[in-house]
Structure 1
Amino acid sequence: MNRPLMLSLYVALWGLLVVPDRAPGEDRRETDTTFANYKPLAAAVAKADKVALLEGLPHPMFEKKLLESELKTKKTVSHHGFPFYAEPVALKEADAKTLTKLFTDETSFKAFSGAKKCGGFHPDYCIEWHVGKDLYRCLVCFGCHEVKVFGPKTELYCDITKDAYDSFKTVLQPYRKNRPERKDE
């Protein structure tokens, strides 16, 4: 095989393997891992006047067929390149307060330690904090023990500490409403 053809095949295969961090048409840069971004995000979230919760769809690697089926049959939205069920899950007021307290506790997170061997970041939930006209989204991945947080001016990709991970999971798992149980593919 000639060299230009091999290079073209390599580039095409690489494009199939790389999962973009953002939806088509969105900025393609990676989410910022500068941990100093946490403090302004936490300060803003502490002032939230409304908290909402969206449930993530099945994993694109481990539950590919289930994900395809859900995308075809359910109403979904995309935030930061990841699909969620469109209808927010009714969040109890006490749980909304607990999630806000967890997020604003500086011991809940630590600097991003690098890519995990879990199939890639895939948010199980999206917690939305409304602060006046501003919106802050925290995408929580239980597989990676990571979050990606997006505010109007600041973002952060970081790890969840063990204690906070357990607390987030305890609060969020009962809100699994739409996502079907994993099937062997």
Structure 2
Amino acid sequence: MKAKAAILVGLAAFSLSACDRGGDRPVAPPEAGAPTEAWVRKDVVLYLPDHVMKKRADEAILSPYLQAAGAAAETAVRAAPVQPGASGMVLVMVKPGRRSKAWVVTGEPAPSPETLAAAVAAVEAVPAPAVREGPVLVGIGFDAWGGGAAPAGAQPPIPRDWYAHFSKDGGRLDDAFMATVWPD
């Protein structure tokens, strides 16, 4: 519990943009028989402080990339069979050298592993923009098939396996941590 609190304190220090996560609002299931959207983009979250993001990436380049990455994930989800509603975040890390990696974090129940893998592959196929001096980490919030429970744990969410990289006293999402979860 102490580690979770330290992680949350560390995450709270980061600048968030257009952030209405809604994690503390109950999610009402769609009415029976009501059509649900396969994908609704909710928000974009910067996982690094604003001054770091501005130093590493030009907004005029990063913003269209994030639009394309979100559209790629949407296309993959819309191509999948309808599943129980899910809410989550597509995390995209971009490193110098125009390299990118994606993760999807959702609440339970999660979409099928095939759907998650297709969304990750689609996002990773989008040509990454140039960043400088270090990685950037951004999240794209979404509801799929009407939405569902928010991801458990830290808000904004991180993949569950990332917790293993924090010490028992917590940690920070900094360059060293990002190099641990995605080594060169």
TM-score band, normalised by shorter chain: 0.3 to 0.5
Q: Which has the higher strand share?
A: 1
Higher radius of gyration, 1 or 2:
1
Could you state the TM-score of these two structures normalised by the residue count of structure 2?
Answer: 0.34
